[in-house]
């Protein structure tokens, strides 16, 4: 498991392509299936492996195996409106240090996840740091204040991508300048999933 060393402003296409290639090979070995090479995985058919964006709905790809997930009523948007243990949802609540759990779920048995970076499309962003825990591995806290000073797209990429294997726990914690309160913000991770067709070509409810 590589460490996320730093945030950079330009998309590291070569590093992402290498992580994707390695992940595809792992997926082919694990599942004994072929990748949809003719479309670079974008249009898998039959029993093929394909790829798509990391979607908010993937945070509950295994129903009942998430502690915190994004609600389907978010309309497919990455935003800090999360599920509640007793049902329903609410804005994410931060603790006395500004930290809160954005999502905490077990990845599907039929999917790999490649984490590539983060983005914000909020007009008044408060989220300043984030940290990943991938199964038993905790990655360093990443501060991303500098991405908000850009006049272009508000995105930050990892110098080194991280790959989450099937059946692994995936936790993202974020830290806001709103301390001990709730935040409603358009913020999320950048990434893609490599998975079996039946996991990618479907609507999740």
Residues 191 and 53: beta-carbon distance below 8 Å: yes
> pLDDT confidence of 2, banded at 50, 70, 90?
very low
pLDDT at position 49 over 80: yes
Q: What is the pTM of this model?
A: 0.89
| Residue that wins the pLDDT comparison between 146 and 184 | 184
Count the neighbouring beta carbons within 10 Å of the beta carbon of residue 14.
8
Any idea where the domains of the chain sit in the sequence? 7-200
Q: Is 185 exposed, middle or buried (0-12, 13-18, 19+ CB in 10 A)?
A: buried
Q: Quick one: fold of 7-200?
A: Jelly Rolls (2.60.120)
> Strand, helix or coil at 120?
strand
pLDDT tens by residue, 69-98: 888 777 888 999 988 766 778 999 999 999
């Amino acid at each position: 498991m590589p460490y996320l060393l730093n945030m950079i402003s330009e998309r590291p296409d070569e590093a992402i392509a290498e992580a994707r290639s390695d992940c595809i090979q792992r997926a082919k070995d694990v599942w004994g299936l072929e990748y949809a090479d003719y479309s670079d995985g974008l249009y898998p058919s039959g029993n093929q492996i394909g790829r798509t964006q990391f979607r908010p709905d993937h945070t509950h790809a295994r129903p009942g195996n998430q502690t915190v997930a994004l609600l389907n009523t978010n309309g497919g948007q990455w935003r800090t409106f999360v599920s509640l243990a007793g049902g329903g949802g609410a804005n994410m609540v931060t603790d006395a240090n500004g930290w809160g759990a954005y999502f905490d779920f077990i990845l599907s048995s039929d999917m790999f996840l490649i984490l590539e970076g983060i983005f914000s499309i909020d007009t008044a962003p408060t989220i300043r740091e984030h940290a990943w825990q991938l199964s038993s591995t905790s990655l360093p806290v990443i501060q991303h204040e500098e991405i908000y000073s850009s006049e272009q797209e508000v995105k930050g990429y990892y110098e080194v991508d991280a790959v989450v294997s099937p059946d692994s726990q995936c936790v993202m914690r974020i830290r806001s300048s709103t301390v001990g309160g709730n935040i409603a913000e358009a913020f999320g991770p950048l990434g893609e999933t490599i998975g079996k067709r039946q996991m990618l070509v479907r609507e999740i409810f």
